[in-house]
Amino acid sequence: MVEDTTLIQWKSQFESGRADKRYFGILIKNQYFCKRNMESIGDKYGKPNIGKDCSFVGTPNFGSEPYLITIGDKTTVSFDVAFVTHDAATRVLRNLPGRNKETVIYGPIKIGKNCFIGCRSVILPGVTIGDNSIIGAGSVVNKDIPANTVAAGVPCKPICALEEYEEKHKRDFLYMVSLPREEKKKYLLRHFNLK
């Protein structure tokens, strides 16, 4: 089931003046497209099980078996992420003499609660990503990732615990998520001495 809570939160920020109108328009278009795409996938192939307050940047590729995908509450999936629930490379085996022509591999994908999946990552069949985990951009996740872990790479491997990541980046944190777009731009340009 696809929840609309993220869109409702952004609408609330827009109406209260905390979100820039132009940015909100792009977000609505993006969220609408994402929701519409998931609904059309559902019509043809079934729907992924998506928790509450999830956020999608662009439209993920849920593949041909989206019903094998579970995404926990408050998880963010960045753009161009592919969820691959089957291994079609078994086609090579099926084409060899004396092999079973029905051979294929399938596996469910489970993403925990409060995770972040970086852009252009590929999640392969049978993978579970634990709660509160971060997957770096461009990763190919072929094995389970424990909860509270930062992982990245090809293949994806744990890099550090979530607490280590937080400690390492404390000096980099900026506290400005709800700033309107123009204020954010001014702040960032000033912060990085670009203007």
Query: Does the pLDDT value for residue 58 go beyond 80?
Result: yes
Q: Which of 41-55, 138-152, 173-187 has the lowest mean pLDDT?
A: 41-55
Per-residue pLDDT band for 30 (boundaries 50, 70, 90) equals very low
Query: 12-21, 49-58, 128-137, 138-147: lowest mean pLDDT where?
Result: 12-21
Asked if residues 81 and 117 have their Cβ atoms less than 8 Å apart, the reply is yes
Q: Is the pTM value of this prediction over 0.85?
A: no
Domain boundaries, the chain: 5-161
Superfamily grouping for domain 5-161? Hexapeptide repeat proteins (2.160.10.10)
pLDDT digits (tens, 9 = 90+) for 118-162: 999 999 999 999 999 999 999 999 999 999 999 999 999 999 999
Q: 1 pLDDT exceeds 80?
A: no
Pairwise CA distance, residues 138 & 49, whole Å? 23
Q: How confident is the model at residue 42 (pLDDT cuts 50, 70, 90)?
A: low
Q: What is the pLDDT of residue 59?
A: 82
Which pLDDT score, from 0 to 100, does residue 137 have?
A: 98
